[in-house]
Structure formats: C-alpha cells, structure tokens
Structure 1
Amino acid sequence: MKLQLIGTGSILTARMSASALVDDKLLIDTPNGSMKAMRRAGLDPCSVDFCLITHFHADHFFDIIFLLLEQGLQQTRDRDLVLIGPAGFADRVDQLFELSYPGSWDEMEDKVRPRYVEFDPADGGECSEGGYTIRALPMQHTVPALGYHITDPAGARLGYTGDTVRCPSVDELAADTSVLLLDTSFPTGRVGHMGLDDVEGVADQWPDLHLIATHRGDDVTHSARPNIIFPADGQTFDITAQGLRADARSMPKQRGDRKTSVLGVDL
C-alpha cells in the first residue's frame, strides 16, 4: 500500500489541510485546496476511484465539488466514482453544488457516475470496494464523524481517525492496524480533537505501532516517542502488513522541522 499525504495541517497553518491518498486512487477527505495540492504534487485527481469523507466540516469536505469537476468537466467516467461517508453524503453534495454552481449538477452527475456508500456515524459499518475492505468507525467530534480502517489485498492495514477526541474507536484502530494516522491538532486535547498528549498515550500503549500525526497545528512539531512521525505535505510511505517502510527519496525537507525517527528509521 502506498500512502501519500496531500496535507498534514489543521486550519490555521501554512500546510494544506489534512488529506491522504492511498495507491493513487483512494482519497481520504477533500479539504479546501486539495485538488490544487494534488496537481502540484504531480497527481491526477481523475485517477481517484474511491473517496472517503470523515465528516462534513469545510476543511475536510468542501473540495468535493472540485474533485467532481476534475472528473467530469472534460471526460465521462467509464466506471463509478465510489463516495463513502456519513449518512447524508449525497444530499450534501447536491446542496453544495447548487450553492457553488447552480443548475450544473445534473449534467455533471451523469458524467461522473457517483455511487454513494453512506454509514450511520453512530454505528459505522463495512464495505468492500476495488479489492479494499473498508470499515467505518464512529468517532467523537463536534459533529457526526467517522474514522476508517482500510485493508488492501496484500494485508496492509491503515487506520485514519479523522477529527476526534480519544475514544474507544481510536483504540480499536490502534489495536488492529499496521499504521495509524491520528488527529493531533494541539499540544493537549480539546473539545472535539486529540492533542499530542493523547497520541503519546496511544504510542505508549502500542509501542510497536507506527503512528503518523496529522491535522497538526504549528505548535505540534515533535515527540520523544520513537514510533510517532510528524510528516510533511506530500510525503509518501510504503505500508506493509508489518507496518511502515519510509521512502527517504520522497520526503520533502521542511525548513526548521526537527528530524524524528520511526522505530529506528531516520527521517
């Protein structure tokens, strides 16, 4: 499994808002500017076949319009675009399209071929798409939200919390994934968000689990825990059934960023 981080920041940072791409075709969240960020990274938004949304806050969702435009303005898809997220996903897209480009969604919908898989955020659920097994788990944010457990055909297991406080679903992901991306918005947790203190608690409980801190504020930069990584926008990783294998050639250098390590892998 190839993981590329489109963005790693929270709202008030220079980094792009948190978003991740798996195997160049499975996109997790579509925050503001994410399609431009993909293009700058040499990625084609039209290659996305599956899009998972954690919740409907603007910094996780509003570029869904531009993902759909990328996929339908100049072509007609020959297969479904699978859109997975909380209940109400289809209605939200209808509303957002009508606000942004009134009267245009019916024609675009025919070209894009969206197929929605919606889960109750209180319960979650599971589906299989394109060889991936995708399990949605209820998270605890300020609005209904989901986290995801993604397994590829080779057995690599990726967890993604989205925005949440530390809750049972976070621990469930930690117990059953090869690599876990966690909300690390603040030095200490606040209402609706984990802090570095929460992520370090996960790191202490599962010292062999590779943790990637994302959705970070500018004051969240490093940790003494060796299994936590603080990635840059655009950084890529290889994920196996055993965990994370970092590709040093793909790691953009960030001026002023402190070097860290992940279980002995120098970064």
Structure 2
Amino acid sequence: MTSDPARRRGLLSAYRDDEPLVKARLVRPEDFGSASTGAARLRCWLAGTGTPAVIDGRHGPSTVISAGDDVVMVDTGNGCAYQLLRLGWQPQDVTHVLITHHHLDHNVDLGFLLMAPWVHGTQRRPPVVIGPPGTEQFLNRVFAAHDYDVRSRMPHGYSLDALGVSVVEVHHGTTLHFGRWQVTAVEVEHSPVEDAFGFVIRSGSRSIAISGDTRPCERLIEAAQGADLLIHEALFPGWGIPDYHTSVHDVGRVAQEAGVTSLALTHLIPGHLPDTAWAEIVRRDYTGELMVGRDLLPVCDLI
C-alpha cells in the first residue's frame, strides 16, 4: 500500500477517468493466417462441461484442442486456466482463443487467461482471440476494468506490448487458416443472442465440430457433415431454457444427420444426472461413438 496520498489519488483517478492503457487490435480475417500443405495431429479435451450453475466437478464451458504446435481454447468459462494446467499446459501456451458467444459462462475468464501470464512475466506472445462481432469491444471493456492493475504494475517494468492482443471478428462462413489447420465459423441458433457461433476445425481430412450454445441447427448439421467428432450441448427436459438449447431428445438426431463418427455431450443442463440418463435417450437416434462429457475428458486423437 503506497504511503503517498497524492500518488494513490493519481492511480485511482487514472483508473476512473483516463483512457485505458491496453486495447485489443482488430484485424481482418484475410489479414491473419494462410493455408499450407500437410496435416496436423488434432487432439481434444473437454476442459469444462458446465453451465452458469455452480456444480462441484463441472467448470465453466471450455474445450482445448491441440493442433500440431498450436494450443486452441474454445470458450473461457470459469476455471479454464486451472483446467488447462491439469491437462499439462500453462496459460501462456495458448495460441488461439475461440469465443462462441458472449454469455457470461463462455467468456468470464478470458481476461484472466490473457493477463495472468503477463502478471507473472511468462507471456510469450498474446494469443489470437477469435469471436463474434463485439468481441473487440468486450475485450477492451475487460482491459478497462483492470486498468488500475495495469497502471500499478508499470513502475515495475512491465511491457504493454505483451498484452497486444489481436482480435478477429467472424461471421457465418468465415474461414481462418493457421498453417496446417483451419477454423470455420458457423452461425447457430441461440436467439435472443444475435451473434452465436459454432466452429469446425479441420486439418487435412480430419475435423472437429463444436456447437456452442444452440437449438437444433441445420447450418451446424451441414457444416459438421462427416466430422470425426461433434461436441454438442445438451439439455434435459424440465431444466434450463429449452427455447435456445438442444434437448437430449434431439441431439442424437443432429449427430446422426451430420454423419459424425463420434459425439461428445457438453454444457450439460443439469450437470448432476448420471451418464446413463443421457446416453439412453441419445442412443435412440445415434449409432456412432457416444461420450457423455465430464471435465478433463479426452475425446479424440486424430492423426
């Protein structure tokens, strides 16, 4: 605690009134990443399979994908950085962050994931943040909320360059190439959320489709055709808000129509039911490999 009242007032005034020191940099999809030949090994884990409900054993929604040398985190629900550590990585290892939509449970730890390595002096380079329209504004508000933290660390030699995050805002069909893998955004149906997306990550002939939060969605079924893995949310009747989620009675049909090899359920509403309750219903429509999600579950290894 500083003993200089004037200095203390200066920091607090800067926190309230001044332009924040850190801002994200918006880049165009065509300006970032290029295709290359060859395929990367795709590995995937369900880091967090929960919802806004606080349930022991289910952290906020987050999926980790290892694509060659890159580490991709899809959504940044509560505790995602600690889950990443349990999977063998550090926050500074993340190279790309995909945000499906801006509900609290999907973005709440984005600021912590980006700033924790900076605070500890371990940041190698900021990850690229990819998300819906409004992602740049959201991230700048996060940085503004922590402007006091940033300013109070500057006298200790911290570099703002290490927080120079690039943001790519996507629309339906936007495809970004990152060497040996690529990601395509798929607009899904989560109204009244206007901009909600799933993602399809591809490398060579292999692919992983992620639904985000959505009702049964024909665009997602089309985009996920023949995928090796579909990671899809699921809701049990009598729980949550069925108008903008996918019932367990529909998710098997979605996966079957998409012709995916494997289906992993995540964002389970509610989170306390036994696996058999979900599997029994999904199995009525889906004949492929089925995994009822739990935190830290490995769900594919594609070579």
1:89-134 deviations in Å (ceiling 9; x for gaps): 11111112222444628977521331111113xx341111242211
Alpha-carbon separation, structure 1, partners of 2:297 and 2:247: 22
Aligned to 2:169: 118
**What is the TM-score when the length of structure 1 is the normalising length?**
0.79
Aligned to 2:59: 16
Identity %: 27
Alpha-carbon separation, structure 2, partners of 1:231 and 1:16: 12
Query: Would the alpha carbon gap of residues 9 and 124 (structure 1) be closer, same or farther in structure 2, given more than 3 Å must change?
Result: same
Aligned to 1:131: 180
Secondary structure at the aligned position of 1:87 is classed as coil
Aligned to 2:98: 52
The answer to whether the 8 A contact 2:45-2:64 is kept is yes
More helix by percentage: 2
Aligned to 1:214: 266
More deviation in 229-238 or 33-42? Answer: 33-42
Alpha-carbon separation, structure 2, partners of 1:43 and 1:240: 19
Aligned to 1:140: 189
Deviation at 1:27, TM superposition (A): 0.5
Name the amino acid aligned to 1:10: T
* Structure 1 residue ranges without an equivalent (≥5): 242-267
The answer to whether the 8 A contact 2:228-2:260 is kept is no
Aligned to 2:235: 185
* Structure 2 residue ranges without an equivalent (≥5): 1-41
Aligned to 2:300: 238
Secondary structure at the aligned position of 1:6 is classed as strand
The answer to whether the 8 A contact 2:222-2:258 is kept is no
Deviation at 1:29, TM superposition (A): 0.3
* 1:162 pairs with one of 199, 212, 216: 212
Secondary structure at the aligned position of 1:211 is classed as strand
Larger radius of gyration: 2
Secondary structure at the aligned position of 1:22 is classed as strand
Alpha-carbon separation, structure 1, partners of 2:147 and 2:104: 17
Name the amino acid aligned to 2:246: M
Secondary structure at the aligned position of 1:215 is classed as strand
The answer to whether the 8 A contact 2:101-2:132 is kept is yes
Report the RMSD for the aligned CA atoms in angstroms. Answer: 2.5
The answer to whether the 8 A contact 2:92-2:124 is kept is no
Alpha-carbon separation, structure 2, partners of 1:100 and 1:127: 30
The answer to whether the 8 A contact 2:85-2:91 is kept is yes
The answer to whether the 8 A contact 2:207-2:228 is kept is yes
Alpha-carbon separation, structure 1, partners of 2:243 and 2:122: 43
Deviation at 1:148, TM superposition (A): 0.2
Alpha-carbon separation, structure 2, partners of 1:97 and 1:201: 42
Alignment of 1:57-136 (within 5 A): 57-75=103-121, 77-102=123-148, 104=150, 109-120=160-171, 123-136=172-185
Query: Would the alpha carbon gap of residues 208 and 88 (structure 1) be closer, same or farther in structure 2, given more than 3 Å must change?
Result: closer
